[in-house]
Structure 1
Amino acid sequence: MIVLGLTGSIGMGKSTTAKLFAEEGAAVHDADATVHRLYSGAAAPLVEAAFPGTTRDGTVDRKELGRRVIGDPESLARLESIVHPLVREAERRFLDEARASGAKIAVLDIPLLFETGRDAEVDAVAVVSAGAQEQRRRVLERPGMTEETFEKILARQTPDAEKRARADLVIDTSRGIEAAREQVRGDRALRRDLRRVFLARDRARHRNHRP
């Protein structure tokens, strides 16, 4: 089974692209969706203990929590120390189930893939990208989003140009969903592209270990 890490900066269309992979038969694990579930379950009391007043009726108030941690590296690190282990455990269960079901491709949708060093744990990386102006337009159309919040989020993320340079596959969403669908359509085409990546890596490793 090929494990593909899917990532992209805010507003690039990563969640939509993950759905396109699922439509083409890939098993997809959505880290954001997992966090949503955790915020209504196992993570809620832990977050409340670390950040009193950030839950309502046993569920994390994401807006209030974001107000507490965005722009505060220490608070953000504390939150990540709570949430990330729970997400990793959910990912492990997902991969075990995907292998058991005979899945050929498993996609891990991880927003901070490069930032957390998770790119070293997957077989290949797909980066979802669009132009900076399109990214800004999409993000600022979100309810409650401000320029200040947008800039704080961007400051935490690896620049898009660097992500594209480090990617094995780049999916451009700037031309709309149908164009993006064509880029990921067909399990056969995806596996062919990934095999090309693996062959190139194998050749590079062989050259590096040649006496």
Structure 2
Amino acid sequence: MNRTALSDTLQDGLEAYRIGPKVRALRLAKDMGLAQLGEHTGLSAAMLSRIERGQVFPTLATLLRIALVFGVGLDHFFGPGEEEPVFEVVRASDRLKLGDKTDGPVSYLFESLDFPVAKSRFQAYLAEFSATAVQSKPHSHEGAEMLYVIEGSLQLAIHGRTEVLQKGDSVYFDAGFEHSYRAADGQRCKVIAVVSGSNPAGREGG
């Protein structure tokens, strides 16, 4: 069906399914040329090329012939289209600064760097430890954690080991072991924390 014969609404609706690229993907996956596909479907290579490039929308009968060649159903062409890539910008002015949940003084403040992302594969934070803050409450969670010190120095305690990280240092560790932190050397410390797992530090308070 020629594009010019379609209403704008119908044309936009068909374009959303990306039928042409799906036909092309099936053909290339079988390492098949346009002429070879034409032999199986009775369509010319030129017509198939126009379909793949979205210049022509095939009728259902034509599309069925193409589908039979590749052993797929018509639903293959009318299923959900390609997902849009996730892209979220978080402005510094939009971030909310929260404290860790402890019974005593707040050990550190943190800001989520990716809070608008509904299904993030990890959580990223900017954490700030004051010069006078006490060691945070030991906590653990599933997954892993990576810290990168951008200001000051950080004292990390985990599984019987204590390590002091200086500006520019980073660490990766299994967050299933109890861990805690504090600013070292009596100076304010800022850290980028990237956390994986269903119960990351800071959001649930360990």
User: Which structure carries more helix by proportion?
Assistant: 1
Q: When the two structures are superposed, what TM-score results if normalisation uses the length of structure 1?
A: 0.20
Bigger relative CO (Cα 8 Å, ≥ 6 apart): 1
User: Which structure carries more strand by proportion?
Assistant: 2
Q: Which has the larger radius of gyration?
A: 2
Q: When the two structures are superposed, what TM-score results if normalisation uses the length of structure 2?
A: 0.20
